[in-house]
Structure formats: C-alpha cells, structure tokens
Amino acid sequence: MRRLTIAGTVFSLLALPVYAQDAADPTLVGELMAFHGSAAIVDVMTTHCYETTGLDPAFQEASKNWYLRNISYLDLADRVIARLGGSSEEELEAAETYGGTQIMTAYNQSADKNVFCRTFLEQVEAGSLDIDKQLPEVLKRAQEISAS
C-alpha cells in the first residue's frame, strides 16, 4: 500500500504547471519540463534519505543509476524544448524547485520517514520512477518531434 501511495504521489507531482510562454506548444514544453522535475524528485529525495538514514550508500547508487537510465530522456526534452521555442533558466529552475518541494512535502507528511525512504529507494532501484514509466505519452510525443 505504501508503495502505491508513494508512486501515486510522485506521479501526481509530475503534472507541473506550464511555464513556457513563447513556445509554439506551451503545454508540451511544460510537460517536458516535468522530466526535469522528475530528476529533481529523485535527486532531492535520495540525497535527503541518504543523509537521514545513516549515510546508506544505496541511496547515492540508486540516484546515479536513475540518472544514467534517464539522461537521454532529459537531453531529448531539452532538444525538443529548444525546437519548440525554448525556455528560460528560471523556468527550468522552477520545474526543479517544484518537484523537489513536492516530494519533500510528501516526505514530511509521512508517518514513518524510514519506511518512506526505503520504499522510495525500492521504487528508484526498480525503475518505477524512470521518465519512460512516469511520462510515457509525453516521451513518445518528444521522440516523434525529434525524429521529424
């Protein structure tokens, strides 16, 4: 049950507000910014859990592995965002801040912080929080735009 709660929380956090104003497709740009929000969620939570669970290196390893599995999707998002008219550094920072803030809010509301961290770690290691699993429709659209 906790696994579903955390996965649902993380998935709902990825529905970031649309930030782009001048792009040809501001909705898609906002959805692509959610890729960076995903990265922030994983980075913030694995770092926080690493620091609060006795410096368990499994959190650092999971974060690195997540990044390696998802870097191509982050690069794709950046290329497509640029193709659609771009975004500002402030918009990227806002997406990252939003993701990090939302996951920390979920953590702070959890009854058992250790269980939250361990469940989060399991989901990161299993690939459940990978961009292709969390945002498959947006990823497909980005791939189609990139290929055209």
Summarised one tens digit per residue, pLDDT across range 48-99 is 999 999 999 999 999 999 999 999 999 999 999 999 988 888 888 999 999 9
Return the structure tokens found at 114: 């250790």
Nearest to 132 by CA among 73, 87, 82: 73
The domain segmentation of the chain, as residue ranges, is 2-12+23-147
pLDDT at res. 87: 83
Q: Burial, 51: exposed, middle or buried (Cβ in 10 Å; 0-12, 13-18, 19+)?
A: exposed
* Integer Cα distance of 64 and 87 in angstroms: 26
Summarised one tens digit per residue, pLDDT across range 24-38 is 688 999 999 999 999
**CB of 95 within 8 A of CB of 13?**
no
DSSP states along the chain: -HHHHHHHHHHHHT-PPP--SSSS-HHHHHHHHHHHHHHHHHHHHHHHHHHHTT--HHHHHHHHHHHHHHHHHHHHHHHHHHHTT---HHHHHHHHHHHHHHHHHHHHH-S-HHHHHHHHHHHHHHTTTSHHHHSHHHHHHHHHHHH-
Full-prediction pTM beyond 0.95?
no
